[in-house]
Structure 1
């Protein structure tokens, strides 16, 4: 696999197969903490002004290119990441894999009762799957410690091996990392809006639109209030451009 850096983040080319192999090894021989993080233009812009978030992302054991812009930028900067792997696609793949290998899965967060609803749907689709869905903290910006401890008591009782958390980025990644001692030996992943897609609350773009790399545009058309978030794309292009020019200048000296 090709190891390199992308806008200050160490990355390596991953495929679904290599990701599953790493997860399998971690479940067989648990590490202290195993964190899967997503890379998209918005996150790569945010970490430039948020040292805590940058550390969380940089230390992730697996970094998936969840955005066509990230894949293109990586190629331009000679830091290939392989094909795009979205968080929702990886989550769906992992749930199917967990059914096959009898791996316990827990869903935390999302809208009230949504995690439980999704767990019920998965159980119907995969009768042998051991899965539980619970509500997350009610206010991720001002966490109630008693509420949080109740969540961890449920985690300890259920003993999951894979945990998906939906609080939105960067809150979910920071929350997972901050509580990594509670998630010792577990595979954890923040999945943002994946719960909404899987739960049916938000329709996904047609497969051909996703394959063409225009899922972001589909979502913008359906949810025009997201336009402010899309402005981050221009910042991302600027960051990539400056890094590319810097690399060219360095190669000439």
Structure 2
């Protein structure tokens, strides 16, 4: 990873310390305008913990151009380290920012991931909301990340942005394995964002977000996420006990 003027390192993962607006305006848009490849990781405590437990995955995350703090736990950890991050930067909000910019500039986007019906719905909603975007292509997430031919077919569609919703670590593994084949493109792993775009999962009301309780809202709506909450708790315990 290229280290910029301001980063905060948490468990060996360097997070860029900026606001979402500044990140998009001063970092991502210049990459897009120059048609330079760019790899963005939106890292929450779960991703940091996976990177802690797996050396190869940590190296993949550290190879990103930018790692942004997607998760209240990351902000709390930085605060505890007395190196506060300016703002939480979520994959969902970044996706909307990038889609807005793509719509304004008439850029092309590729949408990889999720179940076939979710992928189709998400792309259909993008077409309605952002009519000036060129859909370079889309495909469900049940793929072999080793498939070179499939990656080549995406490259040939010449997308300006590639949104990869395979879940971690698979989405980051796919990006790092194949991005060197591409001549251009902003690559970003976005987890469950397609489910939200498709209307299958609702975001927490703004009040919950403002109170940093989005995690609780999602847990109440999706009790199966309980194991993920335990991972976040372990992350915070390690931060507070300095057992990295």
Query: Is TM (by shorter chain) over 0.5?
Result: yes
- Per the TM alignment, residue 144 of structure 1 is displaced from its structure 2 partner at its CA by 6.4
- Per the TM alignment, residue 206 of structure 1 is displaced from its structure 2 partner at its CA by 0.8
Instruction: Identify the residue that residue 69 of structure 1 maps to in structure 2.
Output: 73
| Gap runs ≥5 in structure 2 | none
Q: Deviations over 1:77-125 (max 9, x none)?
A: 1333221121111101110111112221111111114333322222222
Kindly report which structure 2 residues correspond to 1:126-205, keeping only aligned pairs within 5 A, or say none. 126-140=130-144, 143=145, 145=147, 149-153=149-153, 155-205=154-204
Q: Deviations over 1:15-44 (max 9, x none)?
A: 22332221222123344x411101211111
- Secondary structure in 2 matching 1:188: strand
Against the structure 1 CA distance between its residues 177 and 136, is the aligned structure 2 distance closer, same or farther, given a 3 Å change threshold? Answer: farther
- Per the TM alignment, residue 182 of structure 1 is displaced from its structure 2 partner at its CA by 2.5
Find the structure with the greater CA-based Rg.
Answer: 1
Decide whether the 8 Å contact of 2:162 with 2:185 is kept in 1.
Answer: yes
| Gap runs ≥5 in structure 1 | 247-253
Number of aligned pairs? 239
State the TM-score, normalizing by the size of structure 1.
0.86
Question: What CA distance in whole angstroms lies between the structure 2 residues aligned with 1:176 and 1:61?
Answer: 12
Q: 1:29 aligns with which of 21, 34, 55?
A: 34
Question: What CA distance in whole angstroms lies between the structure 2 residues aligned with 1:132 and 1:206?
Answer: 32
Instruction: Identify the residue that residue 217 of structure 1 maps to in structure 2.
Output: 216
- Per the TM alignment, residue 126 of structure 1 is displaced from its structure 2 partner at its CA by 2.2
Decide whether the 8 Å contact of 1:103 with 1:161 is kept in 2.
Answer: yes
Q: Which runs of 4+ in 1 moved over 4 A?
A: none
Against the structure 1 CA distance between its residues 4 and 202, is the aligned structure 2 distance closer, same or farther, given a 3 Å change threshold? Answer: closer
